[in-house]
Structure 1
Amino acid sequence: MKKLSYTLMLFFILAACSQKEQEPSRSEVPASAGEVPVVIAENLSVPWSMTKKGSTFHISERNGAIVSVDQESGEWTRLPVNLTKNLFTGGEGGFLGLELIPNTDLEALAYHTYDENGKVLNRLVRLKKEEDRWIETSVLLEGIPGARIHNGGRIKIGPDGKVFITTGDASVPELAQDLNSLAGKILRIELDGTIPEDNPISNSPIYSYGHRNPQGMVWDEKGNMYASEHGSSAHDELNQIEPGKNYGWPVIQGDEKRTGMETPLFHTDGVTWAPSGIAHNNGSLYIAALRGEAVYQYVLSSGKPDIFQTGHGRIRDVLIEKDGLFFITNNLDGRGTPAEKDDQLMKVRFD
């Protein structure tokens, strides 16, 4: 694994030390790294995931709403989501991942936390947009172990047309190694919720396991899959995901090795990024970081990370189009330092 440069490592160490007692205020970080972004939408309420059709972004909010933002006009609407099970918003829970379904008239997949008989769980549902709300139309997967923290929650439709879902270990680390549990996994299912015949484990939605709390997925132009993951005591990870592989949690982390387990493509060693959504462009991964309060760029060929954009507080998700990168802040989640008009959707152009 490539090591961080001395200068960058010193920056991260100093930042980590300052965060041990409290999160840094927005005035304690640089005003901006890279080009100054353009604000597309303001006053979002704890956004988690964004997906896009045409010129319109659709952004999930943890309290159970979807905001639709027209990039060209800046106009937006917030509509409630009608679910058949009660939304649980405690801790890190709530209405999380959102992914539009191609070739539909505004239908989407959504991942949310719920409380059933006093037990916190997660589920994947299909939604349809109506005039004044989004409604749940079917359930693809439910009963996924959950907790106040470590729920995973990212949804992506892969290049193969299958649905990929990240799940956290639900604060029970050993579940990540248990192939009878859906916790601490990356799952793969069909759009109708059935299990693909070519999944690595027969009759199981499990695609990879040994994950602590993965929150980002992306594919490059060659079809290679990457995921971001929250580590323990720092050691946040970027992994190249292959079917059926065991990514080690809680048995190994960082540079530790064990037969039959994968070490990460990259990890942050003793500092914390708290990576969430990720995107790929021109040989680099772009990582939304919560605790790191930045969008990081990781060059795959060199293994070199750097700060691409900072100065906007906690970043939850990123999305890339040809002319630039979009990101959403997450400063109203109770762990950040909100600025006026937070949370926001912003765009920064590539050089």
Structure 2
Amino acid sequence: MAMYFKLLAALAAATLAGCFGPGAEPGGAPAPDAHRPADAGDAGTPAAEPYVVLAEKLRAPWAIAFDGETIYVSEREGSVVRVEPDGTATRKPVRLQAGVAASGESGFLGFALAPNFAETKAAYAYHTYEANGAMRNRVVLLEERETEWVELRPLLEGIPGSRIHDGGRIAIGPDGHVYVTTGDAGEEAYAQDRSSLAGKILRLAPDGSVPEDNPFPGSYVYSYGHRNPQGLAWSADGAMYAAEHGPSGRPGGHDEINAIEAGGNYGWPKVYGDENEPGLIAPLYHSGEPPAIAPSGAAMGEDGRLLLATLRGETLFRFDPAALERLEPLLEGEGRLRDVAAKGGFAYVLTNNTDGRGTPGPSDDRLLKVRLP
């Protein structure tokens, strides 16, 4: 049965944890105890509200990463916000060898901490830049320092970019490799061209080299035929899933959830929705005709069900890959949702109302902590 949280209009956003405004200096004081994350419902304690706000006034946030109980959030302009367990939030700029080109759907997007982050302070990031008058995307290795993040070296450059369809998700797979989603950059033919890095899911070794066991020798391409994938997640048994934006305009809709296979061709632009051809892999789920949901971030819950943050759909959904049932709404009414992470029975959700396509409220954008039913 579909379930969702009824939202309370009386939330006093100005008193919630992690508050700092655009243009504020990095840093912030903890919020009052009554609004700390424990109020989302500790063991044996019912939740008083549908969620708590861990940080607010974020600037077009894009990705969530965890270091223990500390949360990092990337922002499209080229900064990273660190949110401490006590609610203190600190924004640090990112110093890159190629400047961030942030317009439309482009900018500083995917962000993932290295598995040995506690020792190295290293992270992987994906961002758009300009080269020879064209927009491109690159994957870089960063290091957190006292007042900023600094690029240590580029790992992969020259990925076709655009104001639309840049993909952008970075995730560390259960095999320890780095997975990156790229969009077709508005050029549909790129998705079927295995010599292009656009419209793909890429797989890199942690040092940026091509893994020897990639499906196409000498190529970063792990799967292809993608339009604009922005969500990656793995089940406990290692099955890989991706969420992807379907076509715009007419026919429109047909956003997808796919089970990803090494070397698989997912059909774009040859087919979409229920269409299929020999050698192409059909989606586990597609949203059908408009209105689209525009799925972005994805996470696997502890119960083996997939969580999806949706932009146009403005809903946090849950999907069971085994049952292939309809999407179950869990959270609505907060506007556009960019990313979701699952941890300890909670969903951590980024709103995305300041990205130029939403209607921001006075405290947007926010990082929410939601207890999963």
Q: TM above 0.5, one fold?
A: yes
Question: What pairs with 1:59-208 in structure 2 (closer than 5 Å)?
Answer: 59-70=73-84, 72-104=85-117, 105-208=120-223
How far the C-alpha of 1:301 sits from its partner, in A, is: 2.5
* Deviation for aligned residue 1:323: 2.6
Q: Residue 349 of structure 1: CA displacement?
A: 1.0
The reply on whether 1:322 has 2:358 as its aligned counterpart is no
CA contact (8 A) 2:139 2:157 kept: yes
The code of the aligned residue for 2:283 comes to: P
The structure with higher relative contact order (CA 8 Å, sep 6+) is 1
2:284–2:321: 8 Å Cα contact kept in structure 1? no
Match of 1:277 in 2: 297
Aligned to 2:230: 215
Match of 1:297 in 2: 318
* 3-state SS of paired residue (1:283): coil
Contact in 1 for aligned 2:210/2:218 (Cα 8 Å): yes
1:49 equivalent in structure 2: 63
Deviation at 1:322, TM superposition (A): 1.6
User: What is the alpha-carbon root mean square deviation over aligned residues?
Assistant: 1.7
For structure 2, which runs of at least 5 residues remain unmatched after alignment? 9-46
CA–CA distance in structure 1, aligned partners of residues 354 and 138 of structure 2 = 24
- TM-score scaled to structure 1, two decimals? 0.90
Tell me the distance in 2 between the aligned counterparts of 1:295 and 1:142: 33
The answer to whether structure 1 residue 255 and structure 2 residue 289 are counterparts is: no
Structure 2 residue aligned with 1:23: none
Residue 36 (structure 1) aligned with residue 50 (structure 2) = yes
What percent of counterpart residues are identical? 49
Distance 1:30 1:252, change over 3 A: farther
Query: What are the residue-to-residue correspondences of 1:3-14 with 2, within 5 Å?
Result: none
1:339 counterpart = 2:361: yes
**Quick one: distance in 2 between partners of 1:324 and 1:278?**
14
| C-alpha separation in 1, matches of 2:116 and 2:318 | 32
CA distance in 2, matches of 1:167, 1:350: 30
Alignment length (residue pairs): 324
Counterpart CA distance in 2 for 1:90 and 1:248 is 28
SS at match of 2:92: strand
Q: Secondary structure at the match of 1:318?
A: strand
Residue number in structure 2 paired with 1:58: 72
Q: Give the residue type in structure 2 aligned to 1:214.
A: P
Deviation at 1:30, TM superposition (A): 6.8
Determine if contact 2:236/2:304 at 8 Å carries over to the other structure: no
Q: Which runs of 4+ in 1 moved over 2 A?
A: 29-32
Q: Secondary structure of the residue that 2:124 maps to in structure 1?
A: strand
Contact 2:60 2:355 in 1 (8 A): yes
Q: CA deviation at 1:196?
A: 0.6
Rounded Cα–Cα distance in structure 1 between residues aligned with 2:178 and 2:331: 30
